[in-house]
């Protein structure tokens, strides 16, 4: 399922690979796992920050954090997307599954950032994080958006 959200902008931010008269457009890949309690709030904080920075946004929802790398690659392949913000929460369970997911996805999104020469910022919380800790870290959406915008303005 894809949800597209556009935020209009007046400010032009120069960056390589895109026309300087085009507004900055950042993709957000957000996991739907823990949607009601966590990731929807992460997305809200990222969207609010994007609006404050006059950035256009396209949102792609994926089932869980494991699928974030796939959604990220789909956005990075597009010429109109300058960078990608990733949002998800990986909560500790009875096994080391949380470590596997965060390590693998983190490595893959770094590889994708280098491959496409576009910033991909990490707003995925975990591993070794309780559900309560995850709820307290919903501002990672804002932090990841700010980092992406800053990298694109340098």
For residue range 63-102, list pLDDT tens digits in order.
999 999 999 999 999 999 999 999 999 888 888 777 888 8
Q: How many domains does the chain have?
A: 1
Whether 12 is covered by a domain: the verdict is: no
Residue with tokens 């959200």: 5
**Is the whole-model pTM more than 0.75?**
yes
Mean pLDDT, the chain, rounded, equals 85
Whether 11 is covered by a domain: the verdict is: no
Domain hosting 37: range is 25-153
For residue range 66-76, list pLDDT tens digits in order.
999 999 999 99
Whether 58 is covered by a domain: the verdict is: yes
Can you give the three-state secondary structure of 51-87, one letter per residue?
A: HHCCCEEEEEEECCHHHHHHHHHHHHCCCCCCEEEEE
CATH number, domain of 34, equals 3.40.50.960
Whether 149 is covered by a domain: the verdict is: yes
Whether 30 is covered by a domain: the verdict is: yes
Catalytic positions: 97
Whether 129 is covered by a domain: the verdict is: yes
For residues 48 and 59, what is the distance between their CA atoms, to the nearest angstrom? 13
For residues 82 and 110, what is the distance between their CA atoms, to the nearest angstrom? 15
For residues 148 and 26, what is the distance between their CA atoms, to the nearest angstrom? 8
């Amino acid at each position: 399922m894809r949800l597209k959200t556009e935020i209009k902008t007046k400010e032009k931010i120069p960056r390589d690979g895109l026309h300087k008269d085009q507004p900055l457009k950042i993709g957000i890949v957000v996991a739907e796992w823990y949607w009601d309690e966590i990731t929807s709030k992460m997305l809200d904080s990222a969207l609010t920050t994007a609006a404050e920075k006059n950035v256009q946004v396209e949102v792609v929802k994926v089932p869980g954090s494991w699928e974030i790398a796939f959604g990220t690659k789909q956005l990075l392949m597009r010429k109109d997307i300058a960078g990608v913000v990733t949002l998800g929460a990986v909560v500790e369970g009875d096994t080391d599954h949380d470590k596997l997911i965060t390590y693998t996805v983190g490595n893959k999104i770094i590889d994708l950032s280098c491959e496409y020469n576009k910033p991909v910022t990490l707003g995925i919380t975990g591993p070794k994080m309780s559900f309560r800790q995850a709820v307290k870290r919903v501002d990672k959406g804002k932090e990841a958006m700010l980092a992406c915008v800053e990298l694109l303005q340098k």
